[in-house]
Chain A
């Protein structure tokens, strides 16, 4: 059937627009190629026949141009049944048909007047749907077509009309899905949207808070911080926006346009936007406070370095350290877990290098700063806490900010040579601290998700143990060069276990955060231990730590309060 005249040669006639002639030719040929005897021949003949008929229809349509659709009369054919007696069902129905037609006119007028959900409209619709005339199949089909067209072109303000029509003709039946007409699709999608809107408004949906957020204007900096720090985070607004765009387009006008635009700007990757810079600055400043407080001149240098590293670190980390398998494959689809695991290696190697290079060398200094910033960035982009109560807002972010800043402060102090030589006695305390730094956030995550599987708890416990052992080994063996690779290997094991747990918990972002935190924490201890110029200034550490804690708690409390007031 490669040439246009092929169907005609198979049918054995000259091209014609006469359907009857085509049918005759088909019938004649069919007796020679019976479907049961000559399967291939029949399939060819049938294809030719359908092609020819289609061609003929097009010709006829072209000649007659827009043929008038006689859709206004649900009554045809049956009228010529002349035996009109009392028992003749055709007779009774005629009156009813007239009623249906009138009700249609009324419904049309109501819908057109933009008071679509008036009681008159519902009454008119009920009259149509309940009419005995619909018992006639052809009348029913006509009504169904007309009604779908009418309702789809004048979507009423309330959904009760759509609902009753959809229920009457069972439009939503899944087995009829493939042959819904466009108007029916419109109506069903509208009903679906309205149903979704109801759940959003009633607060039944997990997206309810996000929906309210999307209806508000965005205040750039504040909203950005809120998006990352407070409960209006990602399984909230942006996800909801995507959902609405994909499946509930008719709800888009209900959203605040600036909020939509704001999310669109934010969703691009990587985001080195003004708010990010500001937040980075804020964090850098926080980690510098203790240094400034004790009047250390190096503090300024460190904070500058820290800020610079925020920008380098975020781009490097986000784009290349973790995502390189994806970039290599040039795909936007989720990459297999094995490759994600591979993505960890450059990051792990960086940490190992950090541990192996002697303290106070320039490279070590830079690497430590990078690690600090990467942690910072991991925290920033990785935040996707679930929307929750004030309590959640207060506990989770505070805890994370605290850990991070503690780590950053410790690093700064050690870099500035202010780190005290911790006596051997304190080693167990430090190990326990490292273990809980790892284990506690995980424990909270598990508790938050109400995970009860004992296996998960065992894994959690095991990771903490490995982390504690890793820190202990590092602690005791830090001055013996030969043992450092072992210590580094332990660090990597701890990381991989983290990865595994995070995968079990189904939260990759959390794994990023804590993985990096542990990485950095252990690296920091190595650097600290290796530093030989440590002088005992324990009170300085305490001051710095105390001020960090106070400022962080204050910041989070302020944010939470602000958020509550806005909500």
Chain B
């Protein structure tokens, strides 16, 4: 069975296609969503999910969240003494999802479909694939998140012709796709996005608001800078943002170093402060419509996906943009994972999905760097020559011929870029290839460049020199493939050596992490109370009676609900 996984910035989820429908898999706590957080315990064990997320407040230096933002970069995050790459941290999350699925389905899982933001570039996709491998999963396919959401939505709509737009505002990325469904074909017409915009940015707005308020209330000359305080404010901002989904106003309150600060924030205030973010939402929408050749008025519905679209201010912005109310049939948090499960079903050749075909696009333009001879000026270098235009249906291969520029040239450097600007310096460099050519006069040597882009969004480049009939190949970033494979192996071993917190004790761990956070966040009597509950619960744990533990834990959690509101995901 293939597992469909939504590896999100804030939360992850997994699903499978079973009995003719997509189904999400609950984790050890019975939740469908697992926070994408990894923490390392005092005794060196790895914690994943809710327990780890609560430790973000109490042990920020031993906990990592939002690491998806650094996927594909060499930036590593430290957990305690060791540093981990984002793909390793993602692998922990994937491993935990895999364990949940194996427990739930009662069979071993080896294959997976993992979703990535449509705007992920080749490097980021490769990193995601590596994360899957590190977690012991064979990644059958990488699926674009808005496409996955569209699948989850479209699977019920295949009976009729329809056009819709998927507005996917996740924790860290924003994607927009325009889709067309006809005769069982789910066709992505265009996909664009902003991979630096998400719910976390909205949190940031509230964090800044709160920190500023702290500065004023505590009469500080500067906004206080402390990692611990920041994390606590962050958790508070997150909660306030969620509360603002249902209420008109809420209070953020912070206790730190025996000081206390409160800030009352209303929806309007939040909306004003987030105005620039809301404006940034428009750009990809306009571009997706333009690229897809569809007018906003021709859309049958607007589908909102991603936890951040729960925010009323975002919903209002969308409503204003399209002059109509968005469709909210799908649970925005679960749609992507459900879509991944559908794709897993498609991959498994499930009979129920026989009449459905999905075609996706390449969301950005891919090409190489060229120089041109400009009359009167001479050579102008650093220009971008697109080969695969953005929103070309994939898989696609395109080829173009280029020729040498100077007499006696012996090499041609093929620099591969991704982006939309005419100057390559404004685009993202993906790789390079040095192709030897026979020395001839300028323009006499041609080279054929062929770009092949597959359904997972991975790029391959072939360069053919007709004069010598030589062929050169560049699989992006795989020039260090040899060393990398070894490294993957090494890292897998390193990860395997780490102890993961026992699955059956997850719930207890969550309760304790949460209590520890509440303890730090509250003051006075309340703090004492939480402390007392904690020692009571720990005493129960010592006795190791599962039934007693479960009862005590339920009581404990309920008590904690009274302290910091219900657990949110």
Contact = CB atoms under 8 A, between A and B. Distances in A.
Contacts of A26: 185
A89 B377 contact: no
B141 A36 contact: yes
Contact of A136 (B296, B355, B373): B296
Interface in B178-230: 182-185
Nearest to B185: A27
A40 to B, nearest CB: 9
A542 interface: no
Interface string A18-57: 0000011011101100111001001100100000000000
A141 B289 contact: yes
Contacts of A174: 421-423, 426
Interface stretch (A74-82, A215-223, A373-381, A455-463): A74-82
B378 interface: yes
Nearest to A138: B296
B285 interface: yes
Interface in B403-453: 405-408, 419-423, 426, 441-442
B296 A141 contact: yes
A178 B421 contact: yes
A78 B324 contact: yes
Given A23-B182, A136-B323, A174-B423, A141 B295 contact: yes
Interface in A160-214: 170, 174-179
Given A43-B395, A175-B420, A34 B183 contact: no
Chain A interface helix/strand/loop/mixed: helix
A23 B163 CA distance: 14
A333 B373 contact: yes
Contacts of B346: 36
B401 interface: no
Contact of A246 (B298, B359, B377): B377
Contacts of B287: 176
B319 interface: yes
B104 interface: no
B364 to A, nearest CB: 10
Contacts of B357: 27, 30-31, 34-35
Chain B interface helix/strand/loop/mixed: mixed
B540 to A, nearest CB: 52
Given A93-B323, A177-B420, A246 B395 contact: no
Interface in B349-387: 354-355, 357, 359, 365, 373-379, 384, 386
A94 to B, nearest CB: 10
A137 interface: yes
A176 B321 CA distance: 21
Interface residues of A, number: 43
B458 interface: no
A28 B185 CA distance: 9
A188 to B, nearest CB: 12
A39 B290 contact: no
Contacts of A530: none
A144 to B, nearest CB: 8
Given A36-B141, A329-B407, A23 B183 contact: yes
A347 B346 CA distance: 77
A4 interface: no
A140 interface: yes
Given A34-B357, A136-B322, A78 B297 contact: yes
A77 B395 contact: no
Contacts of A245: 376
B321 A39 contact: no
A135 interface: yes
B336 interface: no
A242 interface: yes
Contacts of B406: 333, 336
Nearest to B374: A246
Given A34-B357, A333-B379, A137 B141 contact: no
B286 interface: yes
Given A27-B182, A89-B320, A137-B282, A178 B365 contact: yes
A90 interface: yes
A333 B442 CA distance: 10
A206 B457 CA distance: 48
Q: Which of A90, A175, A245 has the most CB of B within 10 A?
A: A175
A178 B408 CA distance: 32
A329 B81 CA distance: 64
Interface string B492-533: 000000000000000000000000000000000000000000
Nearest to A267: B376
Q: Which of A26, A137, A242 has the most CB of B within 10 A?
A: A137
A76 B320 contact: no
A308 B346 CA distance: 89
A449 interface: no
A331 interface: yes
B454 interface: yes
A35 B182 contact: no
B392 to A, nearest CB: 9
B7 to A, nearest CB: 20
Contacts of B377: 242, 246
Interface in A122-174: 135-141, 170, 174
Interface of A: 23-24, 26-28, 30-31, 34-36, 39, 42-43, 46, 76-78, 81, 89-90, 93, 135-141, 170, 174-179, 242, 245-246, 329, 331, 333-334, 336
Given A35-B359, A333-B406, 9 more contacts: A31-B184, A36-B347, A39-B454, A89-B324, A136-B323, A139-B323, A141-B286, A141-B295, A245-B376
7 contacts: A30-B185, A36-B347, A77-B297, A81-B324, A90-B324, A140-B282, A333-B407
What are the 4 A-B residue pairs with the smallest beta carbon separation, nearest first?
A: A77-B297, A138-B296, A27-B183, A174-B421
